[in-house]
Amino acid sequence: MNRRIGDRAVVLGAGVAGLLAARVLADGYGHVTVIDRDELRDAYTHRRGVPHGRHIHALAARGQQVLEELFPGLTAELIADGAPAGDMLTDARIHLSGHRLAPARRGLMLLCASRPFLEGHVRARVRALRNVKILDRCDVVGLATTPDGRRVNGARVLRRADGSAEELLGADLVVDATGRGSRTRTWLEALGHPRPRREEVRIRLGYATRNYRMPPGALDGRLAILDAATPDLPRSGALQRLEGDRWMLTLAGILGDHPPTDTDGFLDFTRSLRFPDIYEAVRDAEPLDEPAVFRFPASVRHGYELLNEFPAGFLAIGDAVCSFNPIYGQGMSVAALEALTLRRHLERGVEPEPRRWFRDIARVVDVPWSMSAGGDLLFRGVPGDRTLKIRLLGYYLSHLHAAAARDPYLATAFIRVAGLVAPPPSLLAPRITFRVLRAGRARRRPPAPTEPTPKPDEQASAPHRRSAPVKGEPRPYRRSRTVADTVAQT
């Protein structure tokens, strides 16, 4: 796009959503300024403005594709700098609904990078753009508007330095990418506009994450394990190899059943997961740090697309519009898809119109929000309206996951949807439902007897034997008092 739309754009927030917005805006505006309150070093370090950055971050397949489109060569650069990469269904063990998805090499990339490492590379690419400037250690005081409040024409900022005075950064377009702490709703009300509808799903998620050093060849050369929560065992764990030859383990529990941070409690929580794979991998590994904690009370969506009026020259993007339960790994990929939507708006050669913008990104958000919110409502104790559609889809997906344990075609179909590559209705295509139903009938069919059935007197006299657990098979689970009490109280 070569057409100049405006002279100056300002992006509030230098997280992934803000950086991607700046990358796109640089094609249509003469100067783009990105403002962030944190000190943004060149090193790949954690920063206060991303409190969940110390935990595993998944980049969905579609998100990786969009980043590569916006920053050609970025994937190879990440890998060259040490990010492990492989195939999603071959190089990871994925357990869903109590079943391990069948391995299959289908070309969906698994890119293993920590949040600071990935964000640092993206920030370096954005800094290299000749017409983009990043101002760190700056607080956004508020918006600047025309006297009638119908147009935003800049942002008021205060640098975090002694003796600093408030500055006005004039702009033709201001984009709010400040995340969950966005003050757009408050700013709108101050300008005389109505607040949008706020929708939330209270999941009360708690994380604990620890890094390990593991011997070469750990996990038989695989890069990750995911043991996802189920309604009967609402605990999950993810172990992933990262840059720097380290492994990151994130444990999670909902409704207040949060993983402990002491060494014994952390390992006990790991042992309580349905499958023993993660516990067996880390029980003798070398810890590199103490567990870090993160709390996520609720997924939140703001219905800006429902407003009849919105000030011109002002947009919002990323978590400032919708923040998802991070357990599903959707946030960065949705921000990438929203950046593509912004680019399409700019390709029209005119300033993006806010109401049209919010309607368009609502369509981007609809699918991952339905997946996240619908998945959360399958857990007893999570407040919300469990519609017939949600209950039927939960029932169907559990059967699809069971069938996908033996059918690589079904495993690939689901991972494509979870990776935002294919739309959810594709899982209801006749060829998919037929395979799910066929697998269900096969599971219900009684197995053919392989030896004569003992007579009653032989059964009574035979000694009772407990079968030894098979490696990789799910462990029996006894619900802890914490989970039971929490669900009862909710």
Number of structural domains in the chain: 3
pLDDT of residue 475 exceeding 70: no
13 sits in the region (left: phi over 0; alpha: psi -120 to 50; else beta) called: left
Q: Per the structure block, which two tokens stand in for 464?
A: 């009772």
In this structure, the answer to whether residues 236 and 247 fall within a common structural domain is yes
What lies within 8 Å, CB to CB, of 242 at 6+ separation is 83, 84, 112, 113, 114, 117, 248
Report helix, strand or coil for 363.
helix
Q: How confident is the model at residue 105 (pLDDT cuts 50, 70, 90)?
A: confident
Asked if 247 and 215 count as a contact pair (C-beta separation under 8 A), the reply is no
Asked if 11 and 25 count as a contact pair (C-beta separation under 8 A), the reply is yes
The H-assigned helical ranges of 272-422 are 277-282, 331-346, 354-376, 388-404, 408-418
Tens of pLDDT, residue by residue over 287-318, are: 999 999 999 999 999 999 999 999 999 999 99
What lies within 8 Å, CB to CB, of 177 at 6+ separation is 11, 12, 13, 14, 15, 17, 18, 21, 316, 317, 318, 320
The residue among 290 and 448 whose pLDDT is bigger is 290
What is the per-residue pLDDT for 454?
45
What is the rounded (10 degree) CA torsion for 331, 336, 342, 347? -170
Give how far the C-alpha of residue 133 lies from the chain's centroid of Cα atoms, to the nearest Å: 28
Tens of pLDDT, residue by residue over 393-426, are: 899 999 999 999 999 999 999 999 999 999 999 9
CA distance 381 to 378: 9
- Determine which of 215-229, 427-441, 450-464 has the lowest per-residue pLDDT on average: 450-464
CA distance 52 to 326: 9
In this structure, the answer to whether residues 191 and 205 fall within a common structural domain is no
In order of 15, 65, 67, 108, the CA distances from 59 in angstroms are 15, 10, 10, 11
CA distance 13 to 305: 22
* Unique residue bearing structure tokens 């071959």: 90
Asked if 307 and 193 count as a contact pair (C-beta separation under 8 A), the reply is yes
What is the per-residue pLDDT for 445?
65
CA distance 16 to 49: 12
Tens of pLDDT, residue by residue over 52-72, are: 888 999 899 999 999 999 999
Report helix, strand or coil for 373.
helix
What is the per-residue pLDDT for 447?
54
In this structure, the answer to whether residues 138 and 249 fall within a common structural domain is no
Asked if 269 and 186 count as a contact pair (C-beta separation under 8 A), the reply is no
What lies within 8 Å, CB to CB, of 219 at 6+ separation is 93, 225, 239, 241, 277, 281
In this structure, the answer to whether residues 284 and 208 fall within a common structural domain is yes
Give how far the C-alpha of residue 131 lies from the chain's centroid of Cα atoms, to the nearest Å: 30
* Amino acid identity at 60: A
Final residue before a domain boundary, out of 315, 339, 373: 373
In order of 86, 183, 315, 355, the CA distances from 306 in angstroms are 41, 18, 14, 8
CA torsion sign for 255, 256, 259, 264 is: negative
In this structure, the answer to whether residues 54 and 120 fall within a common structural domain is yes
Element (H, E) at 430: helix 430-444
451 occurs within a structural domain: no
What is the per-residue pLDDT for 482?
33
pLDDT of residue 43 exceeding 50: yes
Final residue before a domain boundary, out of 266, 297, 328: 297
Q: What is the CATH number of the domain that holds 214?
A: 3.30.9.90
Asked if 162 and 286 count as a contact pair (C-beta separation under 8 A), the reply is no
Q: How confident is the model at residue 448 (pLDDT cuts 50, 70, 90)?
A: low
What is the per-residue pLDDT for 459?
39
In this structure, the answer to whether residues 360 and 396 fall within a common structural domain is no
Tens of pLDDT, residue by residue over 112-167, are: 999 999 999 999 999 999 999 999 999 999 999 999 989 999 999 999 877 788 89
What is the per-residue pLDDT for 222?
93
Question: Residue 286 forms beta bridges with which residues?
Answer: 213
Q: Per the structure block, which two tokens stand in for 487?
A: 């669900």
Tens of pLDDT, residue by residue over 175-189, are: 999 999 999 999 999
249 occurs within a structural domain: yes
In order of 91, 275, 474, 478, the CA distances from 272 in angstroms are 24, 8, 10, 9
User: What number of other Cβ atoms are within 10 A of residue 473's Cβ?
Assistant: 10
What is the per-residue pLDDT for 480?
35
* Unique residue bearing structure tokens 């011109």: 312
12 occurs within a structural domain: yes
Element (H, E) at 64: helix 61-70
Tens of pLDDT, residue by residue over 270-282, are: 999 999 999 999 9
What is the per-residue pLDDT for 478?
37
What is the rounded (10 degree) CA torsion for 7, 10, 11, 12? -170
Nearest Cα to Cα of residue 214 among 251, 238, 240: 240
For the chain, give the mean pLDDT: 88
What is the per-residue pLDDT for 460?
37
In this structure, the answer to whether residues 50 and 175 fall within a common structural domain is yes
State which residues form the domain around 324: 6-59+113-197+303-373
Q: How confident is the model at residue 2 (pLDDT cuts 50, 70, 90)?
A: low
What is the per-residue pLDDT for 163?
73
In this structure, the answer to whether residues 324 and 339 fall within a common structural domain is yes
pLDDT of residue 481 exceeding 60: no
In this structure, the answer to whether residues 145 and 191 fall within a common structural domain is yes
**Structure letter (DSSP) for residue 475:** P
Tens of pLDDT, residue by residue over 70-93, are: 999 999 999 999 999 999 999 999
Final residue before a domain boundary, out of 297, 329, 364: 297
Q: What burial class does residue 375 get, using C-beta atoms within 10 Å of its C-beta: 0-12 exposed, 13-18 middle, 19+ buried?
A: buried
- Report the percent of the chain where pLDDT is more than 90: 77
pLDDT of residue 461 exceeding 80: no
- Determine which of 14-23, 256-265, 373-382, 442-451 has the lowest per-residue pLDDT on average: 442-451
Averaged pLDDT, 262-268: 95
